[in-house]
Chain A
Amino acid sequence: MEFLLEINVEEMPLAHVRSALTDMSERIRKELLAARIAVEGWRSFSTTRRLILTADLSAGQPDRDELVTGPPKAAAYAADGSPTPAALGFARSKGVDVSELQVVKTEKGEYVGVRKAVKGRRTADVLSKALPVIIASLSFPKPMRWGTGSLRFSRPIRGLLCLLGGEIVPFSLEGLVSGNRTTGHKLHAPEPFEIRSFEDYRGGLAGRHVTIDPEERKASILSQMSALLAPLKAEMYPDSALLDKLANDVESPFVVMGSFPEAFLDLPLEVLSTAMREGQKLFSVVKGGKQLPLFLGVADVTADARGFIRAGHERVLKARLADARFFWEQDLKTGFQKCAPRLKQVLFQEKLGSYDDKARRLEKLTAYLCGKVESCRKAPELKQAASLCKVDLVTDMVREFPALQGTMGGLYAKTEGLSQPVARAIAEHYLPAGADDPSPSSIEGAILSLADKIDSIVGVVGVGVQTSGSSDPFGLRRNAQGVCKIILDKKISLPFTRLLEKSISFYGDKLKLPKAEILDRLREFFAGRLRYLLEKEGIRYDLIHAALGAGLDDPYYAALRARALDTLKDGPQFEPLILMAKRVNNILAGQNPPSVNPAHFVEKAERELYSTSGIILENVSPMIAKGDFVQAQKVVFRLQPVLNVFFEKVMVMAEETKLRKNRLALLAAIRKTMLRIADYAQVVVEGEKGNRSA
């Protein structure tokens, strides 16, 4: 039977729509599954005003037989086979004739029992009960209440439509009762109308200026844009976040194109596109990499026949660009480098001083990093960028458009004739802003970004701000992820703990927590972010743990170890080596052997293992040093057969202490080598279970 649910809500933000659809789908399906109701063809749709689910459900739970047991057979029947009062009583209590009782064999012996047909619950009843509970318990980042109610939801719920096989599934929520009606477009078709099926719903809304499929709306926006731009041979400057937002925000997408005075084209492109995007959610138009004095907007209408919408946007945009020009000229007049002393007035964090203090620390931290990273050859430029990177915070433009921080610093640096590496490092030092954002393109930008982020994290953690929980008030998680991402993207190998210690020392006596505690917190914190990024690469959880278990002091190498394990995990040599490593691990548990003494070997197999492992150790060391963990791992594979022979031929736990200790010492040395590549004991292999029980 066809199921259809529409929750009608006042305009919801895109993130809320997405999380509500996912959570609701998951929980309703789980509820149906638990009730043994068959679910097919689950689909969800949405607009900013509607959460929509549809599927094919079985009409109800299957009927089933239930066996109820009563007294033991011996107590139920007399010697002559006639039913006793116990049997008669049981039959009466179950509402059956005593002749319907049957004998059932159980583990405890023979009993009498009765089989009863139990009718399955109807799907509609299951839904009636479950839906209001599930809807009311959906969680949102910043939920709200409305009217006199106590329910917390994304935005006020204004209607509930719920059908199963064309019939209303009755339930109520926050004073609303579910029904079979909905409304069309807020302005153009607000009258309620009746629905019998999903096709009816979809078609009825389409005729009332509502497209329920966000992908269809997005496609419509893109094709309308192409149609407008094709004659100009121009393109929309891509902005997928804005496109997603607008495809969510309108029920009836209509693209308008408008223009602004060409005179504004002398403003930097970044300023133009930000002014368009931030205030009015407009797209820029480019041709051959050059900005045109045009914009594209998405309206929630069917037409702009009289051009009012285009004209309205043009008027607002013109005023905005005039403002932007005023800020640009004002800032140029004031002078960028001249503003630097004003950073003393701008607070970075209450207990950590001003942005000027931060700039001084960044000069030192970037100098240290530059010494550690081979590809960094522009120390003086980096120092200048570090001292100026926060200056744009006091410019008028950034105060008006905070999203332009960094970008404006780079532009102003360029206008004052600073070198390109300086301008670029300043411009890029906030990157990556999000998980899918690119890292800085230049190594100077990357190092400045690393320094800035590490300085912030160390400071905030150092004054005792907790990093646990779901809130991230100082952007610590985002910053730590940025650090890990840059390290991976730029392939930066460096002594990480040392770097953190340096950063701590540049704070002088400002940090409240002791150094060791700060380092502990930071290591755990960065390990979490690194794990997350590697999981996003598709690497198995246990492999990541094994790689990070071999040490975190160089996050880039830790990632290389994880990737090496991932590359080799399906080869024939992998699993045997893991099992062998685990065997070595087990036998060494609780042992603390001295170092190996070759003079104490007696068996051929142990001498062979000693010499082979020695050669292997020699071979892998340079590979490990240069981060070639795939090769190193391949070499280590060669240990497995030799170890195998060793375990077959040699009794490790020999009675004689001298022999036993020496053999354990040999295994310990081998384990130490392997631990430089991975903590293999953390890898989960399929054969493991069988082996353990054997």
Chain B
Amino acid sequence: MSLQRLILNLHRFWADQGCYLAPTYDVEVGAGTMTPDTFFRVLGPRPWRTAYVQPARRPTDGRYGENPNRVQKHHQYQVIIKPSPADIQNVYIESLRACGIDLRDHDLRFDEDDWESPTIGAWGVGWQVMLDGLEVSQFTYFQQAGGLEVSPIPVEITYGLERLEMFIEGKDDIYDLQWSDDVTYRDLRLDEERQFSEYNFNRATIKSLRDQFALAEKEAQMLIDKRLPLPAYDQCLKCSHCFNLLDARGAISVTERVKLIAQIRTLVAQVARVFTAPEPGTEGAA
């Protein structure tokens, strides 16, 4: 087994479920949920099925490559199906079998864990899926996004790829994972984790991050005013990533944290409104 085999298995499985396999998005995000393929597609009435791999950047989780579990960039396998099908739990269970996990010998549990992302004004109800005590997925029925009630209800399944692969390979250290048959996670990622940890925690220029935040915020507002929600949303994502970096640099006080998150949320809510109520002649939800 290898991580790339796992990705291929999931791709095949969800493609057979009628999912569109989206390319990885090219703006930094903290979670697969934040990419446009989830954020915009859960809004509005149009049915949608998509699956994709998304690197998730969480600068504060960096450990200079020295922690066997935590990394400042991990990979999520994200599935969105709207409306949520009646047998989706069983389909999910089948997907684990398709990854080669023999569930007869394991304890699979759906453990209460409601999900919320204040930054993008989204929340949902669901579970963390535990396999022998290890959280391998997040399973959520979206209820709100961009501050709007969603209807029909999409289901989101997010696999933590490294976690799942550690489970499959029975390994204790993330860097021991096989990415492919002859390339390990260490080969690919260790230097990156070291360098980015150094950058995130010690080198990122606070002033320049604050400036970038302000510029992106301004740009987003301009684009919202021009009723261009798709590029406006990219600018919101940039704000969010600057915020995460500032946080890792320890530059944000508790009061400011609340304020900055509210600023991003307000922008995202406007994006969602413009997107769902398009003017004639602009592109939006059908």
Contact B84 A249 (CB under 8 A): no
Partner of A249, one of B103, B111, B253: B111
A148 CB within 8 Å of chain B: yes
Bound form: Cα–Cα A629–B152 in Å = 63
Q: Which of B89, B109, B153, B253 has the most CB of A within 10 A?
A: B109
CB distance from B113 to the nearest CB of A (A): 10
Residues from chain B with Cβ under 8 Å of A218 in the complex: none
Contact B105 A305 (CB under 8 A): yes
Partner of B93, one of A187, A311, A312, A317: A187
B24 CB within 8 Å of chain A: no
A18 CB within 8 Å of chain B: no
If the complex has contacts A11-B112, A316-B133, are A145 and B69 also in contact, measured as CB distance less than 8 A?
no
A59 CB within 8 Å of chain B: no
Residues from chain B with Cβ under 8 Å of A675 in the complex: none
Contact A142 B133 (CB under 8 A): no
A345 CB within 8 Å of chain B: yes
Contact A318 B172 (CB under 8 A): yes
Contact A319 B172 (CB under 8 A): yes
B284 CB within 8 Å of chain A: no
B13 CB within 8 Å of chain A: no
If the complex has contacts A145-B143, A147-B85, A187-B93, are A11 and B106 also in contact, measured as CB distance less than 8 A?
no
A410 CB within 8 Å of chain B: no
Contact B132 A308 (CB under 8 A): yes
Q: Which residue of A lies closest to B253 (CB)?
A: A345
If the complex has contacts A142-B125, A144-B141, are A312 and B131 also in contact, measured as CB distance less than 8 A?
yes
B255 CB within 8 Å of chain A: yes
Partner of A187, one of B84, B103, B125: B103
B110 CB within 8 Å of chain A: yes
Q: Which residue of B lies closest to A154 (CB)?
A: B125
If the complex has contacts A142-B114, A297-B133, are A147 and B107 also in contact, measured as CB distance less than 8 A?
no
Q: Mark B85-108, 1 if CB is under 8 A from A, else 0.
A: 110011001000000000111111
If the complex has contacts A309-B132, A315-B134, are A145 and B112 also in contact, measured as CB distance less than 8 A?
no
Bound form: Cα–Cα A158–B132 in Å = 25
Bound form: Cα–Cα A306–B172 in Å = 19
**Dominant secondary structure at the B interface:** mixed
Q: How large is the interface on B (under 10, 10 to 19, 20 to 34, 35 or more residues)?
A: 35 or more
Contact B132 A311 (CB under 8 A): yes
A57 CB within 8 Å of chain B: no
Contact A300 B106 (CB under 8 A): no
Bound form: Cα–Cα A297–B84 in Å = 32
Contact B172 A315 (CB under 8 A): yes
Residues from chain B with Cβ under 8 Å of A347 in the complex: 253-255, 258
B118 CB within 8 Å of chain A: no
Bound form: Cα–Cα A308–B105 in Å = 7
Contact A280 B133 (CB under 8 A): yes
Residues from chain B with Cβ under 8 Å of A312 in the complex: 106-107, 131-134, 167
Q: Which of A280, A281, A315, A316 has the most CB of B within 10 A?
A: A316
If the complex has contacts A147-B83, A147-B84, are A155 and B125 also in contact, measured as CB distance less than 8 A?
yes
Q: Taking beta carbons and an 8 Å cutoff, which residues of B are in contact with A?
A: 67-69, 83-86, 89-90, 93, 103-112, 114, 124-125, 127, 130-134, 141, 143, 151-153, 155, 167, 170, 172, 253-255, 258
Q: Which of B68, B106, B255 has the most CB of A within 10 A?
A: B106
Residues from chain B with Cβ under 8 Å of A280 in the complex: 130, 133
Residues from chain B with Cβ under 8 Å of A190 in the complex: 90
CB distance from B43 to the nearest CB of A (A): 15
If the complex has contacts A156-B141, A319-B172, A347-B254, are A301 and B107 also in contact, measured as CB distance less than 8 A?
yes
If the complex has contacts A146-B153, A147-B153, are A299 and B86 also in contact, measured as CB distance less than 8 A?
no
Q: Mark A273-294, 1 if CB is under 8 A from B, else 0.
A: 0000000111000000000000
Contact B109 A249 (CB under 8 A): yes
Contact B152 A308 (CB under 8 A): no
Q: Which residue of B lies closest to A320 (CB)?
A: B69
Bound form: Cα–Cα A643–B110 in Å = 70
Q: How large is the interface on A (under 10, 10 to 19, 20 to 34, 35 or more residues)?
A: 35 or more
CB distance from B25 to the nearest CB of A (A): 27
Bound form: Cα–Cα A175–B75 in Å = 37
Q: What 7 pairs across the A-B complex have the smallest Cβ distances?
A: A312-B132, A299-B107, A313-B133, A144-B125, A11-B110, A148-B152, A347-B254
A204 CB within 8 Å of chain B: no
A13 CB within 8 Å of chain B: yes
A346 CB within 8 Å of chain B: yes
Bound form: Cα–Cα A177–B68 in Å = 50
9 interchain pairs (CB within 8 A)? A147-B83, A147-B86, A148-B152, A158-B86, A186-B93, A300-B107, A312-B106, A312-B167, A323-B67
A618 CB within 8 Å of chain B: no
Contact B254 A345 (CB under 8 A): yes
Q: Which residue of A lies closest to B149 (CB)?
A: A145
Q: Which residue of A lies closest to B66 (CB)?
A: A326
Residues from chain A with Cβ under 8 Å of B155 in the complex: 146
Contact A146 B253 (CB under 8 A): no
Residues from chain A with Cβ under 8 Å of B152 in the complex: 147-148
If the complex has contacts A187-B93, A316-B133, A347-B254, are A309 and B106 also in contact, measured as CB distance less than 8 A?
yes
CB distance from B177 to the nearest CB of A (A): 14
Contact B105 A146 (CB under 8 A): no
CB distance from A517 to the nearest CB of B (A): 28
Q: Which of B86, B105, B107, B114 has the most CB of A within 10 A?
A: B107
A125 CB within 8 Å of chain B: no
If the complex has contacts A10-B89, A305-B105, A345-B253, are A144 and B143 also in contact, measured as CB distance less than 8 A?
yes
Q: Which residue of B lies closest to A147 (CB)?
A: B83
Q: Which residue of B lies closest to A250 (CB)?
A: B109
Q: Which residue of A lies closest to B108 (CB)?
A: A187
Contact A306 B112 (CB under 8 A): no
Bound form: Cα–Cα A305–B105 in Å = 7
Bound form: Cα–Cα A144–B140 in Å = 11
CB distance from A594 to the nearest CB of B (A): 61
Bound form: Cα–Cα A188–B69 in Å = 31
CB distance from A46 to the nearest CB of B (A): 15
Contact A156 B255 (CB under 8 A): no
CB distance from B99 to the nearest CB of A (A): 15
Contact B110 A10 (CB under 8 A): yes
Which residues of chain A (194-211) have a CB below 8 Å from chain B?
none
Bound form: Cα–Cα A306–B102 in Å = 12
Q: Which residue of A lies closest to B124 (CB)?
A: A144
Residues from chain A with Cβ under 8 Å of B103 in the complex: 187
Residues from chain A with Cβ under 8 Å of B106 in the complex: 301, 308-309, 312
Contact A313 B86 (CB under 8 A): no
